Structure 1
Amino acid sequence: MSGNENISCATCHHPAFGTSDGLSLGIGEGGEGLGPKRTPGEGLDRIEKRVPRNAPALWNLGAREVSILMHDGRISIGADYENGFNTPAEEWLPNGLNSLLAAQALFPLTSATEMAGGSEENEVAGAVNDRIDYGWPIVAKRVRTIPTYGAMFVESFDHISAPEEVTITEIANALAAFVGQEFRSNDSALDSHLSGDATLPAAAMNGMELFYGKANCASCHSGPLFTDHQFHALALPAFGPGRTRRFDPMVRDVGRMGESDRLEDAYRFRTPSLRNIALTAPYGHNGAYPTLAAMLRHHADPEQTRASWQRTDAALTPVPWLASIDFVVQSDRLEMARVAASASVDVPRLSEGEIADLIAFLNSLTGQAAADTAFDIPAEVPSGLPVDQP
């Protein structure tokens, strides 16, 4: 499905790394390998820039309460267009997508950094360069003309009677069905505690009291998925290429404002779900912090932790030809001041003991199946392309 047939969805969302990739900023199209060991490629095929944001985990994205996706919320359920979704494709998004997750599945295919490749490298990327939806029919034809896949779609969809009827819509709906089912997680220690089948350890119980009390975590991380699905500014240390807008005069990432064009949304990012959070390091929209303890300390004192943050805290694959831009944003005094002033979280100072108890509670949100990593990763696929294996 990728433009150059060299990267899959699982490359950046692998169960071995909590359905992420273990990196602060991913190595996308052109790289080689998996997870923290992934390299940036060589020669003409090497990556041109890092993926601008941390690869989000896939846990429970098929839940009914999820109505908005991506760190900046640029994919959401809405009535602005006949297709039923508000997305970067606007009216060009195909009709018939049966869920928000299906709509989201289409966009990595259009990203040069993630899966499409450069516009001069393959027909998919070239088509996307002309218009965002032009690449999807090419991908669909690739898939349906593989005999095994064509037959599977005919068997799986009642309205499909022949492989040539398969479009990108059926492919996206199939991907969404898989992700929604495979990465559903509701069998954590906390779930057992709430159902009366088990009792949390004392430290986790203390952490739960802090979470819903003094630490004020539940003001943003609420509900069954431990997220309010809203946007908040944590003023994380800035680095990487940023997700710049066309008219940005510098490398930066303004978060939700890039989608909403509202100044009050500057540097705000979507609240992540905390289910299986212990499996999905590093943390933050750019993966700035390698541990839960470091992320909790930042919530409680953004100014101090940002001042003490070291570049080595970021899990970045060494890429010599990108070294000059990896941290260039930190030399922009005014941008750093704007990021610092944006912090909107309200968490009191926490002792190290309280942080340890909070981590014990967060560990209780790990699902048993997710922790066992008992996922059915095929040894081979009908296309004959290599399969990502940890």
Structure 2
Amino acid sequence: MNVPLLDLKAQYRSIRSEILAAIEATCEEQGFVLGPRVAALEQAVATYVGSAYAVGVASGSDALLLSLMAMGVKAGDEVITVPFTFFATAGAISRLGAKPVFVDIKAETFTMDPDLIERAITPRTKAIIPVHLFGQCAEMEAINEIAKRRGLRVIEDACQAIGAARHHIRAGALGDIGCFSFFPSKNLGGFGDGGMVTTNDQALADSIAMLRVHGSKVRYVHEAVGINSRLDALQAAVLSVKLRYLDRWTEGRRTNAARYEQWFKEAGLDDRVVLPKTETGNFHVFNQFTIRAQKRDELRAYLKDKGIGTEVYYPLPMHLQNCYRDLGYRKGAFPVAERASEEVLSLPIYAELTEDQLSYVVQTIGEFYRRH
């Protein structure tokens, strides 16, 4: 049996006619950059997230960068984030000449440990970027309390977490700003790059809308040095169709996660595999179903041989990347993140998986551990 890590073709087949109609209509309009289709998607995402404003940008990476720019982060400033994340989280900080300051994650959820934030704050700290990793929100009430007390801004890296919630408030409406990615592998994925920033702060929304078009409100008049980071209308057309199905796909992912949990326990694999834990108060959308596995690399190779796709997110924490040597961190600085990087393995979780495919994944993992 073949079980790919992600099967975008299966998703596309289910909505093909709607997608092609939306693309054709956009082509007939011949308006491809920003415009009414992007504005409509911005309004739809703001409504979905529960924020007052949403601003479409070219990628999730740019969403992070523009958010920091709008908050006035500059060279010499510090921004607190986690070492166990995709590079864009720290990279956006560095691109402005600011310094990423890392704090470790919680072992159970892979999200920022709020208990470690205070000791990382210095007079140069300007903001905190918690990451809602793998589709689960960080402990935002604790993070927000620290930020408010210390006069800091909070940017949610929600690039993997559209639809996730904490205490019934959705990701993107929990901090000062939320950043989303529409990379094709996300739960809401486009046909290329794309991103969105959400906020309840009109001044921040207006600033990001200006900065995404080279710092211009009026054509050829520039208020600031911005960048070119505009969401295009074709992506907005595709995403507007897909957004209507997002909750259905999310429930499919959650159902598959529940099946995995049941079947792993029934197979007696609890002592070899640590399943994802959902924090109390969280609504998990499972952008990834990430286990901790003994003999992870051997297991991954075995699954590949059996036709099962997997991925390791992330094999090398940020503080151990070559480009961050000058930050002065050494191996052992963030033991929870380092251990996670050695143990995590993401399994197929998308909504279109069949029960037979899910069962095959669990059975094959069971076979591996019986032989090892």
Question: Which TM-score band (shorter chain)?
Answer: under 0.3
Q: TM-score, normalised by structure 1?
A: 0.26
More strand by share: 2
